[in-house]
A and B are shown apart, each in its own frame.
Chain A
Amino acid sequence: MRRSIVSSLLVASSLVLTTLVLGQARGTRPANKPKPKPAVTSTSKESRPETSDDKPKPEDDPYGPSSGAAPASSSAPAAEPSVQRSHASGDGGVRSSPLNPRPEEFPDGGAVATPVDLDKIMGDIAALRARVAAIGDVMFKSRIVLRVETRGDHAKIGKLTINLDDGIVYTAPPGFFADDEITVYDHAVAPGRHVLGVDIERRDDRGETFRTGQHSRVTLDVPENQRLETSIRIDDDSDMGSDFPSSQKGSYDLRVRVRAKARK
């Protein structure tokens, strides 16, 4: 019994020893077999150069050079070997987007060449205008007040300018509306006749293609040493935006009314 135990132990230990010996690595690890170099040219779908189709064809680019023969150097990107992205360098794929835009598709973004003396001209004009307005305030005792009121639920004002004697005195900001009368100009003017102009463009909020515009001019007589209070009311009862798309029938109704009253 004891002999059999000893012999079986011997067999087991020899088996373990053999396993260990066989499992031992060699003293020097052989160098890994180098990976094959990527092919210089590849016809596989994923590594196909993407530049060839991105080059504008003459019929697609009317702005390009008229001759189709580009210099050899210009085709260099297309001739570059298509090297696949290394998997080791990232966590992802090897396929670049087919949508890479060309640099010339982006705005240049450089400084804009505005006239060199623009700031000076603007400054000179602004200073002169302010000066004239200040002197006018001192010299003239007659005044004109312009007030604006707009009506119309569906009429959006695209543009509204009010001018006096061909000079704009008020430009409405985008989205302007005045349910109640608001004063847009109050200034001294020479007594006598003046031309008031109202330029307006309205859009229907139910369909922006339905627009109305009007250029109205009226004369106003400003009495000496008096204040002429002028109310401009803009009514828009147009129904083109609501009616025309459904019934092919509609009407525009834009009115500019001007009332003036002199006060001492």
Chain B
Amino acid sequence: MRHRERRRGARPVLASSIAAVSVAIAVAAGAEDVGNKPGKSVPAAASARPAAMANAPAAAPEASAGTTDTGSAAMAAYNKALAERRLEASSALTPTTIRERLLEAQELLGAGRRDEVIAHLVRLVESPRFADYAESDEGHAATYALGDALASAGAHDPARGYLKRLLPLSPSDTYARRAVRRLAEIAIDTENIAPILEDLRAVPAAQPPETRGEIAYLNGRARQLGGDPDGAFKFFAEVSVESRFWAQSVYLSGVIEVERGRLKEGENLFCKVADPGRSDKTAPFFADEKFFAVRDLARLALGRVAHEQFRFDDARYYYYLVPQDSERLAEALYESATGRYEKKDYESARELLDELKALGVHHRYEDEAWILSAYLDLARCRFEDADAELKGFIVRYEPVRDAARRLAGDERVLMRLLDASRGRTDAAAEPSGVTPDAARAIAALVRIDAGYGVVSKRLAQLEQEMSGLRGSMGQLDDLTRTLATSGGVRPSSEGLGEGPPNSPARARAEADGIKRQLDALERARAPAADIAAMRASLKQIEASLGPARDAGPGAGSSALPKGADLPGLLQTDRASATEFYAAADAARAKLLEVRTALAKDAVHRLDQRLSRLLRRARLGRIESVLGRKRALEVEVEALAAGVLPQAALDSLEAPRYLKDSEEYWPFEGDDWPDEYVGGEGLN
């Protein structure tokens, strides 16, 4: 259920509510429940782009648009230097050896050893002998595998560089088609679409429908993100039913129609995707899990459109189409119940809420469903029940709201809690300083922006690369030393100390511990002034810790000259590594900042929602008192008019006072004293 009140300008809000879940469909992953308000993400530069750039219209914010350096030149220099020293970089290559190496890479990938796969394939593809086979099937396969592995590691620029090499092949070539698909996935993943569209210009004109669909979808998505719905609509219409993006395109077209206020047209488009007859067996395209996610979204959208037009019965049908195994089931049941409530079909609304409760899972509508349930009781004049429910709501959620507020001030704890929410682990297991109940409730209710997931993923990839880079820097030092000492042994001076990288992390962990102790003292009602003083000092310590970053490895020895020979190349790379580490550390700090802001925003929105619902609960309690008062008034008026209320009439009936196990036999005129104990001898 979203904002549907006509008097509040429901239509535009409906559009945004549908768009809000349009989500990840577009963003290939489809896993995150995201909000993606079209037009909001337009970078300032996008609007100023020349209209002539038909294929690359939008969101090309970043500087990396044209850089797809694979590092081939550096690798070639190494190969040359190695050859000069008669250290061959690779053995003889044949199609069979390439196939064998590809199989090895596949095995490594299966074991999760992605970094090794990349190293393995770089050695193969950048070998001087590989050029002879670059245009063979094996060569294409190796190039694709390397591009794919790099993209999976988050190294999109070199990945694009390798994948681009396959684009000029015949469009019917398997690896050309796979390269287009992988590039499309990178574009959707990063939402940095313009550079990829630029790359895709290399695809020859005679493209199969599948490739045309990929490019048209990317164009549409770019235009939509760039705030040009008309252009996007046109491109989405070009995506044929054979494309894996067909469902996404039709759905997004429907969203655009709804945003324009053309609900009927939007509904027709959603119907195409939501059709119950369309399944993996009947669809002319490969229906993967993303298709089913989009189909559920389309059904929800249909329900919302029908609801918006007051067609509550239609809305119920559409919501009913969301299958039992869908992740959107709770959403559908809750919204359907809201529709029935608005139609005053309280019994059906109650059934739907009971069904929602029977799911027995935590969902993001728990709090709203609770209030709706209480309001249903109010509507059915069950004032005592409603009051009890509302009272329960306040008791349960007021501490949760307060805990959410407290968490907003503690970044690290907040992050851990949100990660538990995203990872679906037990949030109560995280040391958070709030009660386990409140922690679980927050984790269940919080609606995290999709951007949080994107940033978290990028951060994890960057940290992985930084850690790997530390190892590479050590290896470069070893290589330099080996060359300098003609195959000498690594010095054994390294001890087992924690090392500088762990120091700030350890200090932060210590600060967390102190914070938990302070929370415990507060709960134990220790003197507030003392606690406040201690908190102030802790804050000072944290402030000084904040900017402290993990110290990177040293710059290495600069004694060796830079040049084209092997030691020179190693020295150049060592210097570059130090620079890269510093740049990566700065980027990491920025990503952390963005992530913290998103986390705080999520918990702030939760606070707002709970505050609204708590106000609603209090109002509901007033309503319940007024309702009970009115019921009494009606009863008194009836009595004054000589009409006994039903309750009074019932009180005259003897069966009313019987237990379930007892049976009432009415007096029929005959008294048989011997039939009951104590009646003997009585007349």
B113 neighbours in A (Cβ, 8 Å): 170, 184-185
Assembly CA distance A54 to B451 (angstroms):
28
Task: Count B interface residues, CB 8 Å.
Answer: 149
Of the residues A60, A83, A108, A219, contact of B601 by C-beta under 8 Å = A108
Contact B87 A129 (CB under 8 A): no
Do A134 and B474 contact each other (CB < 8 Å), given the known contacts A100-B4, A106-B20, A128-B576?
no
Assembly CA distance A134 to B496 (angstroms):
28
Contact B62 A116 (CB under 8 A): yes
Assign chain A's interface to a size class.
35 or more
Of the residues B450, B455, B576, contact of A114 by C-beta under 8 Å = B455
Residue in B closest to A113 when the chains form the complex, CB atoms = B594
Do A120 and B614 contact each other (CB < 8 Å), given the known contacts A63-B604, A134-B122, A166-B470?
no
A113 neighbours in B (Cβ, 8 Å): 594
Assembly CA distance A45 to B343 (angstroms):
16
Summarize B's interface: helix, strand, loop or mixed: helix
Of the residues B19, B118, B150, B499, contact of A166 by C-beta under 8 Å = B499
Contact A109 B35 (CB under 8 A): yes
In the complex, per-residue mask of A102-119: 1 if CB is within 8 Å of any chain B CB, else 0: 111111111111111111
A259 at the interface (CB under 8 A from B): no
Contact A60 B469 (CB under 8 A): no
Contact A101 B609 (CB under 8 A): yes
Assembly CA distance A56 to B616 (angstroms):
11
A137 neighbours in B (Cβ, 8 Å): 119, 123
A242 at the interface (CB under 8 A from B): no
Do A123 and B474 contact each other (CB < 8 Å), given the known contacts A118-B587, A209-B428?
no
Contact A109 B583 (CB under 8 A): no
B611 at the interface (CB under 8 A from A): yes
Do A131 and B471 contact each other (CB < 8 Å), given the known contacts A61-B608, A98-B371, A111-B225?
no
Assembly CA distance A17 to B463 (angstroms):
99
Chain B residues in the interface with A (C-beta under 8 A): 1-8, 13, 16-17, 19-20, 34-37, 40-41, 43, 59, 61-64, 67, 69-71, 74-75, 78, 82, 87-89, 111-113, 115-116, 118-119, 122-123, 126, 150, 153-159, 190-192, 225, 309-313, 338-339, 341-345, 368, 371-372, 375, 379, 405, 423, 425-426, 428-429, 436, 447-451, 454-455, 458, 461-462, 464-476, 478-479, 481-483, 487, 489-492, 494, 496, 499, 501, 553, 570, 573, 576-577, 580, 583-584, 586-587, 590-591, 594, 598, 601-602, 604-605, 607-609, 611-616, 619-620, 623
- What are 27 A-to-B residue pairs whose CB atoms are below 8 Å? A45-B623, A53-B615, A53-B619, A56-B608, A91-B313, A92-B339, A96-B4, A101-B2, A102-B608, A106-B447, A109-B20, A110-B37, A117-B62, A120-B157, A123-B157, A129-B115, A132-B573, A133-B119, A134-B126, A137-B123, A166-B501, A167-B469, A190-B489, A192-B490, A193-B491, A194-B494, A203-B429
Counting from the closest, the 5 A-B pairs by CB-CB distance are: A167-B471, A90-B310, A192-B490, A109-B35, A127-B71
Known: A53-B616, A125-B469. 10 other contacts (CB 8 A): A50-B5, A85-B6, A99-B338, A99-B371, A106-B2, A107-B451, A109-B37, A117-B62, A118-B591, A119-B64
